[in-house]
Homo-oligomer: A and B are copies of this chain.
Amino acid sequence: MSRVREEVRRAILSCLEEGSTDRLRQCLKDLHPADIAEVLPDISLGQQVKVLRVMEPDRAAQVVFELDREKLPTLMECLGLQRTADILSAMFTDDAADLLGDLPGDLRQKLLGLMEAHEARDVKELLTYGEETAGGIMTTEYVAIQKDITAGQAIEVLRENAPDAETVYYVYVVDDQNHLVGVLSLRELILAAPNMCIEDIMRRKVISVNVRTDQEEVARLVAKYDFLAVPVVSDAGELLGIVTVDDVLDVIEREATEDMMRMAATIDSEGEDPDASPVKRALRRLPWLVGLLFGELVAGHVIEGFSEILQHLTALAFFMTAIAGGTGNAATQSLAVVVRGIATGEVDPGQILKVIWKEAQVGMWVGLVCGLVVGSFAFVWQGSPSLGLVVGGALAVSITVSTILGSFVPVIINRIGVDPALASGPFITTLMDVSSMFIYFTLATLILIR
């Protein structure tokens, strides 16, 4: 991959240095927009503008869509707002809406004013839907035909509309009120006799999603049925747009990153920009880290409460990291299984109690075994059966509690939709550090002080 990037960069730079617009145009024509987008951040702003001025709007659109959103406003000012608006008009409506949604409000309004009227209207409509819903990721560029025309006429409609439609691999069939009534693959249309009526060859069972369906749900549906696109309908069943598989790929990647970051308590759910400065990246990670450290200091406060017994029996300290660490690991395992299970649809968050009860059983077994192993070890190492009992008992109880918590939190979060950062692994781990220390020293006080 990085070899391609290096070659593309060198090719563009050499054309820019030569200064011939024709040579640059030819060079850019031979490159894939995705490759150009990848190297654009490596060249100067002035050079970026030259590249985007020379490219045809529809290819420039593909490049612009891939660029870092934070740097776009500056680039757009340099490029000129009218040229930017032309590029946006050439973009697929869903991409244009996605991009405009990330821009500052006044810039967005200016650009919408300069765009082609019908493109601007479609984009404005898409902007009204929630960003994480089917409406937010759908495009309005699809091919729909009336049910009472023939296959031959349908192919004619396609020839006229295809260059504008994001995907023509499915052809949707609607009635006069624009209700979705059937679907045909392009392949079926080609294979049909030209004089057959669409109504007789279309499939009537169309799987569609409501415009307000969550994007993760849409992604699961597309993955389950191996669709290339899925139609989006209003409450009344009118066809509003389609979600294509490339957007679904993006959703799945983004959600996986989000889950991973959540597991690791990095505030930024979109991952980190590897090119950002170390200080900037450190600043993004610090709030959670420092917050969690204060959580750990609460654990320290709990330990302070038991300082007398600790002074009396220093050996208790030897097992503190084992109890805190083992408890944290058990919670993380449970969390990962449930979070990933919800993402892939294998765990049904609708059945909270069933999920938690199952995980609790797993936790009890895991806790029992770990408690037995480490408790016996503590007994042999320190030659004290009662210390073994304290260590083993505390570990067994803490692990059971933490496994339940590890399954409980993500399911609840998913159900009630509060700040997902709460489901983060380190948050639960820190909570368990406090409670496991409390369980450990309470048990020690009960059993060892007699």
Interface residues of A in 278-305 (CB under 8 A from B): 278-279, 281-282, 285-286, 288-290, 292-293, 295-297, 299-301, 303-304
A317 touches B303 (CB 8 A): yes
CB contact under 8 A between A303 and B321, given known A228-B245, A245-B249, A348-B2: yes
Residue of B nearest to A331 (CB): B264
A272 touches B341 (CB 8 A): yes
A347 touches B274 (CB 8 A): yes
Q: Does A263 contact B (CB under 8 A)?
A: yes
B304 touches A318 (CB 8 A): yes
For this chain, the copies found in one complex come to: 2
A289 touches B190 (CB 8 A): no
Residue of B nearest to A307 (CB): B314
Cα distance A347–B310 in the bound complex, in angstroms:
46
A318 touches B341 (CB 8 A): no
A344 touches B257 (CB 8 A): yes
Contact of A207 among B32, B155, B187, B191 (CB under 8 A): B32
- Chain B residues with CB under 8 A of A333: 264-266, 285, 288-289
Contact of A265 among B2, B187, B260, B329 (CB under 8 A): B329
Binds B, one of A71-79, A362-370, A415-423: A362-370
CB contact under 8 A between A366 and B293, given known A324-B325, A325-B429: no
Q: Does A17 contact B (CB under 8 A)?
A: no
Residue of B nearest to A304 (CB): B318
Contacts A286-B366, A324-B325 known; 13 new A-B pairs at CB < 8 A: A158-B190, A159-B190, A190-B190, A245-B246, A264-B335, A265-B333, A274-B341, A274-B346, A289-B330, A289-B370, A290-B369, A311-B314, A325-B429
Question: Could you list some 23 contacts between A and B, CB below 8 A?
Answer: A34-B225, A162-B190, A223-B249, A228-B245, A260-B340, A261-B340, A263-B332, A263-B336, A264-B335, A266-B337, A274-B358, A281-B362, A285-B333, A286-B366, A293-B374, A299-B321, A299-B322, A300-B318, A300-B319, A303-B320, A324-B324, A324-B325, A325-B430
Minimum-distance CB pairs A-B, first 7: A264-B336, A278-B361, A282-B365, A256-B256, A296-B322, A300-B318, A226-B246
